[in-house]
């Protein structure tokens, strides 16, 4: 990032009104692809801009603001996507956000991020069971990086922290929400790892 922009971020004063928060969010949104868990980090600030919420800067907002400032100045360097290298997709879901990291190993065997993704859940999605949220995170990442993932010659390694998703790939008993998912997940030709 440009040193002048880094200085601007480091010196950015704590917002005191909705307009200040909107200005910071406007700046931050340009860099969402470069920051892991961006949607999760920025959610408290976005919530402050809702008309139904009275502006109240609290500890959660301060933590969010400072975490973003730190992420802007210390974000890892993303590597360009290499069509000839193995692809690792790490996904995760929380109560409110789906997220993923697309990574590849360099020639020395060191894993580097290629891209980050995060998206806030809709009100309906927030009510999903954690199993379905984890599955949603995988689907969203495959939709986001479809050109890269469809074009890679090697199998895609999907890493998720929800062991029950291994069962999904072989089960024949799907609930109503899951009936349309096998076609969306047909792109996955690799392995599933859970931690």
What domains, with CATH codes, occur in the chain? 3-74 (3.30.70.270), 87-194 (3.30.420.10)
Give residues with Cβ within 8 angstroms of 14, minimum separation 6.
57, 62, 65
Comparing C-alpha atoms, which of 20, 14, 97 is closest to residue 58?
A: 14
CA dihedral 58, 63, 64, 69 (to 10 degrees): 130
**Top-confidence residue, 57 or 146:** 57
Q: Which residues contact 193 (CB under 8 A, 6 or more apart)?
A: 157, 158, 159, 160
pLDDT above 90 as % of the chain: 29
Nearest partner of 25 among 56, 57, 68, judged by Cα: 68
Measured CA to CA, the distance from residue 129 to residue 121 in angstroms comes to 12
| 18-29 vs 59-74: helix crossing angle, rounded to 10 | 30
The predicted structure's pLDDT at residue 154: 80
Q: Residue 115: phi, psi to the nearest 5?
A: -160, 155
Structure tokens at 24: 């910071």
- Could you write out the DSSP letters of every residue in 3-25? HHHHHHHHTPPPP-SHHHHHHHH
Q: Is the pLDDT of residue 173 over 50?
A: no
Burial bucket for residue 55 (CB in 10 Å: 0-12, 13-18, 19+) = middle
pLDDT at residue 179 in the model: 45
- Kindly state the average pLDDT of the residues 11-16: 92
- pLDDT tens column, 134-143: 888 988 998 8
Counts for the chain of helices (H) and strands (E), in that order: 9, 5
pLDDT at 77 over 80: no
What pLDDT is stored for residue 26 in this prediction? Answer: 85
How do beta strands 87-93 and 156-160 pair?
parallel
Q: How far is residue 110's CA from residue 70's CA, in Å, rounded to a whole number?
A: 24
According to the model, what pLDDT value does residue 46 have?
Answer: 93
Task: State the pLDDT at residue 44.
Answer: 94
Q: Whole-number mean pLDDT of the chain?
A: 81
Q: Give the pLDDT band of residue 53 (cuts 50, 70, 90).
A: confident
């Amino acid at each position: 990032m440009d040193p002048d922009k880094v200085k601007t971020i480091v010196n950015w004063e704590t917002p005191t009104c909705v307009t200040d928060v909107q200005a910071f969010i406007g700046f931050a949104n340009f860099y969402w692809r470069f920051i892991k868990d961006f949607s999760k980090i920025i959610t408290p600030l976005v919530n402050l801009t809702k008309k139904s919420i009275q502006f109240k800067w609290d500890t959660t907002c301060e933590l969010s603001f400072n975490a973003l400032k730190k992420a802007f100045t210390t974000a890892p360097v993303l590597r360009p996507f290499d069509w000839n290298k193995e692809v690792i997709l790490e996904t995760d879901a929380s109560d409110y956000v789906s997220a993923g990291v697309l990574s590849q190993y360099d020639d020395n065997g060191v894993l580097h991020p290629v891209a980050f993704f995060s998206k806030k859940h809709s009100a309906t999605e927030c009510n999903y069971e954690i199993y379905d949220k984890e599955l949603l995170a995988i689907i969203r990442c495959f939709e986001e990086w479809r050109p890269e993932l469809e074009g890679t010659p090697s199998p895609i390694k999907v890493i998720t922290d929800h062991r029950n998703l291994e069962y999904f790939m072989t089960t024949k008993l799907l609930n109503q929400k899951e009936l349309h998912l096998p076609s969306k997940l047909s792109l996955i030709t690799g392995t599933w790892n859970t931690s």
